Structure 1
Amino acid sequence: MSHSDAILDRLMALHPKIIDLSLDRMHRLLAALGHPERNLPPVIHIAGTNGKGSTQAMIRAGLEAGGARVHAYTSPHLARFHERIRLAGDLIAEPDLAALLQECETANKGQPITFFEITTAAALLAFSRSPADYTLLEVGLGGRLDATNVIDRPRLTVITPVSIDHTQYLGETLPEIAAEKAGIIKPRVPCIVGPQPDAALQVIETRASGLTAPLLVHGQHWMAAPDRDGMIYQDDHGLWDLPLPKLIGAHQIQNAGTALAALRQLGATDAQAVAAVTRAEWPARMQRLGHGPLIRAAGPQAELWLDGGHNPAGAEAVAQTLATLPPRQTHLVCGMLNTKDITGYMRPLAPQVASLIAIDIPEEPNTLPATDTATAARTAGIPASTAANAAEAITRIATADPHARILICGSLYLAGRVLRDNG
C-alpha cells in the first residue's frame, strides 16, 4: 500500500456519511489552508449528469494542442486515485499527493469532513501552487453544494446533459436536479449548455437570467451534428468541419459540441478544434480492450468492450452505439451499485443484446448482488444468468460463441476493477 493510500483510508473514516451536501466544512478547511481556491489559473467548471468527463477530456485536448498547460480535476478514479488530479497535464506524483493529503489532514484537525471534500481541497491546493494556464474542475455530485463549487469567478461554466440520477441527494424531478446543476452558474460568467430536456433548460435559463450570466445553448447559439463521415460544429463565428470524435458513440458528437462551444469562448483555432475531437482520451467510455488476461479469456475472434455508464441515459448512449457497430451477437457482463435505477438501465439495452451475465463488483460494499442484477435484466426481457467474476463470465460467453461481442458494463467502479485487473 502506498503512503497516499494509507492516508486516503484514514480520511475515509473522518466523516461517517459518504455524501453529505453542504459547503460549510469546505469553506472552513480552505480558510485553514490559506484560501487556495482564490489563487487558481482561470477555472472552467463543469456540471451535468452525463458526459462531464468526456467533455472535459475534449476541452483539455483542445487547450493543450494550443500549447496551454492545463490542470484537471475529475472523479471518480478508475484504477488509482492519482487519476483525479492532473497538474499542468501530468497525473500527480505519489510523493506530492501524499504530502498534500497530509497537509490537508493536519489543517482539518480531525473535524468532520467528507472524503470528497478533503481530497478536493488537496487538489485545489496543488493547483494553486503549480503554474498553468487553465484549471478544469469537474463537479462530483450535483453542483450547488458540491465541494468544487467554491470558485467565485470562474472563466466559464459548462452544463452537460441533465437527466435523473442520484435522486436520494439531488431531488426526484428533472427541474429539481437541474436547479442543483445550475448552482454552478456565477454572476456575469458565460455558461455553455449542452443538449437538455426542456424542463431542465427552463430552470437553467431562469437561474442564468437572475445572475445576468450569458448562456450559449445547444440548438440556439451553437449546434453539432454528424456529417458524411465526420461532424460539423456551427455557431455565430462560423463552421468547423471536423473528423468524428475519437471517443465512440453518437452522444460523443454532442459532448464534442459542448467542448467546442467552450473552446470557441476561449479563442481556439481550427487546429485546436480538430485536436479536441481527435486527441481526447477518456477510458471506460465504450472502450475496446486490446490486450491482457481478459482478452486471452475471450479468445482471438471475440471483441471485448468496456463502458462505465450506469444510469438510463448512459445505457441509451451504449445502445445507440451498439446499433451502429458491425453486426455481431452482443453479450453483457454486468455489475451495478445498489443505488441505481437498474431496470431503467436495462431497458434501452434489451433490443441490442442477446444475453447478460451478472456479477458482483469485486471489493465493493455497495454492489448490487448479481442475482438482483440478473432478475432486473430478465424483467427488461434480457436472458440472464450469474457468474463469480468477469473472467468466468467472459470464458462462458466465448465458449458458447467464439465470435461474440462482449461488453463489460453497469458501473464505473466495475470498469476500474477491470482496468486494474486486466493490467
Structure 2
Amino acid sequence: MERLLAALGYPEKRLPPVIHVAGTNGKGSVTGTMRAILEAGGKSCHVYTSPHLVSFNERIRLGSTGQFVDDARLFEALLRCEEVNAGQEITFFEVTTAAALLLFAEEPADVLLLEVGLGGRLDATNVIDKPWATVITPVSMDHEKFLGTRLAEIAAEKAGIIKPGCPVVMAPQEPEAEEVIIRAAARVGAPVAIFGQDFTAYQDNGRLAYQDEEGLHDLPLSNLIGNHQVINAGVAIAALKAADLWPGDVAAEMGLRRINWPGRLQPLTQGPLVDRCPEGAEIWLDGGHNPGAGVTISTFMGEQEERTPRPLYMISAMLTTKDPVGFFRPFAGLVRHVACVPITSSTTARDPFELADHARTAGLEATPFERLEDAIADVVACAQKDGEAPRILICGSLYLVGEVLAANGMAPQ
C-alpha cells in the first residue's frame, strides 16, 4: 500500500479528518450512524465500507455528491492505480482501497469515515498516521485463518489501527479483548473512552439515553432495529465527540431518524421476492455471519417471539471462511427449520448440503436447496401445513443479503 500510494502522490496525506473504524460486528451500523448525524449537522462525508451488497460502487460514497461513486470516476481511478502499479503484486482490496483514497483526496468533504476491511494492523486502510479518532466495535471470532484462533489474538489485530495520541472509542468487549485493546492504547499514549465506564447508552421509555462526563443526552432511538443498535448509536456518538465533530443534539435527533444501512435486521415488506413468500409473512434480512452476530440476531428473534409468537423459518447461506456451527448454535430451540441455499455471487460459498450438515450439528433441522426460490417455496408449503403466517429470517452472509436485495428490486442508494 505504501509503495502504491507513493506512486499516486500520497493521497492518504491529503484527506479530510478521518475516523477509522475496526471491529468484528457493528462497523457498518456505527459508520452509518455517524454519517447520518454528521450530514444532519451540515457536514459532508466520504465513506468507505465493505463488502458491497449489490454494486461495487456502494463501497465508495463521495461527500461532494453524497452519492456512491459513478462508474466513470471509479473506472478512471482504478485505471490510474493499475497504471502506476505496473503489474506488481497487489491484492484486489489493496488496489481498490488505493483508488478510494485517491478519490477521497481529490474530492472535497468535511470528514472521511473509513471502515477496515479485515483485521486492522495489516489492513489496506491502515495507512492513516493521525486519525481524529479510532473506533473498535465488538470483537468476535471471525476470519480465524488470517487473524488468529483466540479472541485476544483477533483483538490485537483490530487494535492495530490505534495511533499515538489519537483518541480511541471502544464498544463493549469480552474481557480478554478489552484487556488487549486497552494495553495497545496505553503503549502509544492513546486515550480510551470505554463503553460502560466513560460513556453509556440505553433505552429509556422509548428514547435513546446517552450519558458521558458532559451530561445526559435525551435522543430518539435509531431507526436501525434491535437493542444492539442502541449500543452502536452510543459508540457512534462517543466517536464523534472524541473526534471533536459532535454537531449537537438537534442534528443527532434528525440523523438518528434518517439512518439507512441495509441488511441489518431489515424488514422486507414488498417486492417481487416478498410476493413469493407466504401471505402475511414477517420477513427479516440480516448479513450477520459469525458467532457474535448469531447471538445478537437470535436474541432479537427471541424477543419477537415473546411479543408475537409465530413459527420461525431460517433461510441461510454462508462462506467457507465462516463458522456455521457457531453462528447457528444460538438459534437451537428457536428456529423450526433451516433452508440452506447457495451464494451465486461468491466463489467461496459453502455447498448447501455441507451447510445443512453444520446446521444439524448445531441442533437444528435443516434441508439443502439448489436455489433461493426453492427454499422460499418450501417455507410456503410449511406455512400451509402450519395454518399460520410464518416469521422468515434470511441470514448468514452479506453476499446473500445482496442477492436478496437485488432479486427484490431494493439495491442500496
Q: How many angstroms does 1:173 deviate by?
A: 1.0
Name 2:355's counterpart in structure 1.
Answer: 373
Output the CA distance in 2 between the equivalents of 1:400 and 1:145.
Answer: 47
Give the letter aligned to residue 310 of structure 2: R
| Counterpart contact for 2:345–2:399, Cα < 8 Å | no
Q: How many angstroms does 1:143 deviate by?
A: 0.4
1:87 to 54, 62, 65: 62
Name 1:264's counterpart in structure 2.
Answer: 241
The answer to whether structure 1 residue 392 and structure 2 residue 367 are counterparts is no
| Counterpart contact for 1:62–1:263, Cα < 8 Å | no
Output the CA distance in 2 between the equivalents of 1:333 and 1:157.
Answer: 35
2:253 to 251, 274, 284: 274
Give the letter aligned to residue 399 of structure 1: A
Name 2:18's counterpart in structure 1.
Answer: 43
1:222 to 199, 210, 214: 199
Give the letter aligned to residue 310 of structure 1: H
Name 2:140's counterpart in structure 1.
Answer: 163
| Counterpart contact for 1:309–1:412, Cα < 8 Å | yes
Name 1:356's counterpart in structure 2.
Answer: 338
Output the CA distance in 2 between the equivalents of 1:349 and 1:228.
Answer: 29
Q: How many angstroms does 1:421 deviate by?
A: 2.0
Q: How many angstroms does 1:291 deviate by?
A: 2.3
Q: How many angstroms does 1:180 deviate by?
A: 0.7
Unaligned runs of 5+ in 1: 1-25
Output the CA distance in 1 between the equivalents of 2:103 and 2:256.
Answer: 28
Give the letter aligned to residue 31 of structure 1: A
Output the CA distance in 2 between the equivalents of 1:178 and 1:381.
Answer: 29
Give the letter aligned to residue 343 of structure 1: V
Q: How many angstroms does 1:212 deviate by?
A: 1.0
Over the matched positions of the two proteins, sequence identity in percent amounts to 51
Q: What is the TM-score when the length of structure 1 is the normalising length? A: 0.92
* Post-superposition CA distance 1:63-118 (Å, at most 9, x none): 00100000000000000000000000211011111111111111110110000000
**Partner of 1:60: helix, strand, or coil?**
helix
Name 1:240's counterpart in structure 2.
Answer: 217
Output the CA distance in 2 between the equivalents of 1:361 and 1:348.
Answer: 23
The answer to whether structure 1 residue 340 and structure 2 residue 322 are counterparts is yes
Output the CA distance in 2 between the equivalents of 1:141 and 1:367.
Answer: 18
1:418 to 380, 388, 404: 404
Give the letter aligned to residue 395 of structure 2: C
Name 1:12's counterpart in structure 2.
Answer: none
| Counterpart contact for 1:284–1:306, Cα < 8 Å | yes
Q: How many angstroms does 1:329 deviate by?
A: 1.0
**Partner of 1:111: helix, strand, or coil?**
coil
5 Å matches for 1:14-53? 26-53=1-28
| Counterpart contact for 1:140–1:147, Cα < 8 Å | yes
Q: How many angstroms does 1:391 deviate by?
A: 1.5
| Counterpart contact for 1:358–1:374, Cα < 8 Å | yes
Output the CA distance in 2 between the equivalents of 1:349 and 1:275.
Answer: 35
Q: What is the TM-score when the length of structure 2 is the normalising length? A: 0.94
| Counterpart contact for 1:260–1:276, Cα < 8 Å | no
| Counterpart contact for 1:249–1:320, Cα < 8 Å | no
Output the CA distance in 2 between the equivalents of 1:190 and 1:351.
Answer: 43
1:324 to 303, 319, 322: 303
The answer to whether structure 1 residue 283 and structure 2 residue 258 are counterparts is no
5 Å matches for 1:65-214? 65-88=40-63, 89-214=66-191
| CA RMSD in angstroms, aligned pairs only | 1.2
Q: How many angstroms does 1:399 deviate by?
A: 2.7
**Partner of 2:332: helix, strand, or coil?**
helix
Q: How many angstroms does 1:396 deviate by?
A: 1.6
Q: How many angstroms does 1:129 deviate by?
A: 0.5
Output the CA distance in 2 between the equivalents of 1:277 and 1:314.
Answer: 22
Name 1:61's counterpart in structure 2.
Answer: 36
Give the letter aligned to residue 259 of structure 2: A
Name 1:22's counterpart in structure 2.
Answer: none
Q: How many angstroms does 1:351 deviate by?
A: 2.6
| Counterpart contact for 1:394–1:406, Cα < 8 Å | no
**Partner of 1:248: helix, strand, or coil?**
coil
Unaligned runs of 5+ in 2: none
Output the CA distance in 1 between the equivalents of 2:183 and 2:255.
Answer: 31
